[in-house]
Amino acid sequence: MTQLVTRIDDDLAAQVDDLVAAGEFESRSDAVRRGLTSLVDEHRRRRIGKVIVDGYLRHPQTEHDVGWSDAATAAMIADEPW
């Protein structure tokens, strides 16, 4: 496992210590690992979302692509034995 070393200000360290004391994290290291994991995941999700949006902007859905589902839903509702 790779070790990262960094400095943080005293106020942030105290806040992390408070979270550890409250049982939110096992240790300072656990807090840092979980924070970095969340940060990396957030960026990954944002990148994926951008790629999806860019794809829809390049190739927007047409009525032909999605109209069938609206028609199928309407047909299912009409078939309900009320």
Per-residue model confidence as pLDDT tens digits over 19-70: 999 999 999 999 999 999 999 999 999 999 999 999 999 999 888 888 888 8
CB 49 within 8 A of CB 42: no
Q: What is the pTM of this model?
A: 0.69
Q: Is 33 exposed, middle or buried (0-12, 13-18, 19+ CB in 10 A)?
A: middle
What's the token pair of residue 20?
A: 């550890």
pLDDT tens for residues 8-20? 999 999 999 999 9
